[in-house]
Structure 1
């Protein structure tokens, strides 16, 4: 079964994207000349600039109407190999972060999966391309996406002993957890249909103010540690939980009390 990450021999995995170039050095000169002519006609013209980091070369193909490959640029970019990998995967394997950023501007789906559920993030994690991982996370890819083995990119990085990638993705997950909690609490407070009960104006303002402060903290602390991210989330929980618990607790009206505490949708 073919692996999406680097196998014991990296050259075998790269062969789908690199074989045309490698074969030019293998056979005798006469056979090679014939082979080169045939392969030149079929090689994806986006591949050389993508592998070498030639961003300007790629941009010319996409943006210059006079370029012979301009009309087919997007088709060439999305052309897939036998396991569903397009040119972006080749750029990930080669660690060409600037190429990924440049191609993202043309509206490609950075969360597209291969036939076995691997994303670009899985690919970069498996190959230990830390800077490419950072670029993809900056571009808001789904870091929780699962492959056919129910693995996140972080799990794939761990499987291939890519320690720096594991540490970075742990940090990215901690940052995401805080962002998601802020969004969840804000949605509950602003949507009365989802709220756990009557919310006093003062309590509502307290929660929204706390969420705003945490969002501002995220924007100004881009290098915050995992522990600092966890602390910020805990601080917000300490503000939110007592208010929602009070709202969810049945009031004593002299009648028979209800069946106990209701479900708390704000919990993490």
Structure 2
């Protein structure tokens, strides 16, 4: 179902929102079905029937429609009848451990995600088969939601599902080209950031040990790391190849210094002295 189309009922909307994409992924390539899987399917059918009978989560509608004012009142107004159970309702899970945050991602409700993140929810939580909110947004092609999750809320872009797929891989499987490009860009930035952290950690360890860390070398490394960190903050529109160039430049500065420190000194023998 197209998420932009008006559903016949809230029940059918929730049913389809919570099944279409991920169920396709669950079923692909699984030709052999054991008893445990059959039991899970039976339980899920019961869950779908529960939805159809009208036992709906009261947070569903404001989340799907992007009604952030109503959501904030529920979570912040002690007089609201749903106040005491707001967190429980938000994190209530279906049979495969999807909560309403997944519905927000499927619907591309980025502002809803921003608001709900303030209430201490774990944005890196995953389903029974390892799908995170990022996997979900990637599969459904919700580019703006991906940007909010990655750039503002700092979710883990390296999380893997049960297929050992990154969110980027899921986006590629569903031909979500813009999402693939964005996640590749985000991965390049993360690689540079992690390398800077690695260099800083190594430098701190060398200072504690007996290594030959000269002040000039230390300052060279620190300045190079600081320049790249500042560059990341001020070049949010940089292309992937430009990010890799910055990482390579840093490696070209740092590697020779660390190699020099790790190379044992040659001890001159008494015979060579005479």
Using structure 1 for the length normalisation, give the TM-score: 0.80
Match of 2:25 in 1: none
Shift of 1:20: 4.7
2:16 equivalent to 1:19: no
Greater mean alpha carbon deviation, residues 147-156 or residues 193-202: 193-202
Match of 1:261 in 2: none
- Find the aligned partners of 2:100 and 2:188 in 1 and give their Cα distance: 30
8 Å CA contact retained: 1:20, 1:43: no
Trace 1:78-227 onto structure 2 (pairs within 5 A). Answer: 78-138=91-151, 139-192=153-206, 197-227=211-241
- Find the aligned partners of 1:56 and 1:111 in 2 and give their Cα distance: 25
Aligned length: 230
Match of 2:260 in 1: 246
Using structure 2 for the length normalisation, give the TM-score: 0.79
Q: Deviations over 1:31-67 (max 9, x none)?
A: xxxx99962xx31111111001111110010001111
- Find the aligned partners of 1:18 and 1:64 in 2 and give their Cα distance: 25
Judged with a 3 Å threshold, the aligned counterparts in structure 2 of structure 1 residues 207 and 170 are, in CA distance, closer, same or farther, namely same
Judged with a 3 Å threshold, the aligned counterparts in structure 2 of structure 1 residues 177 and 74 are, in CA distance, closer, same or farther, namely same
Q: Secondary structure at the match of 1:192?
A: helix
Greater mean alpha carbon deviation, residues 110-119 or residues 197-206: 197-206
Task: In structure 2, list runs of 5 or more residues that go unmatched.
Answer: 16-49, 270-274
Q: Secondary structure at the match of 1:175?
A: helix
Q: Secondary structure at the match of 2:206?
A: coil
Judged with a 3 Å threshold, the aligned counterparts in structure 2 of structure 1 residues 83 and 18 are, in CA distance, closer, same or farther, namely farther
- Find the aligned partners of 2:121 and 2:141 in 1 and give their Cα distance: 23
Task: In structure 1, list runs of 5 or more residues that go unmatched.
Answer: 1-8, 24-34, 256-268
2:72 equivalent to 1:59: yes
Shift of 1:197: 3.3
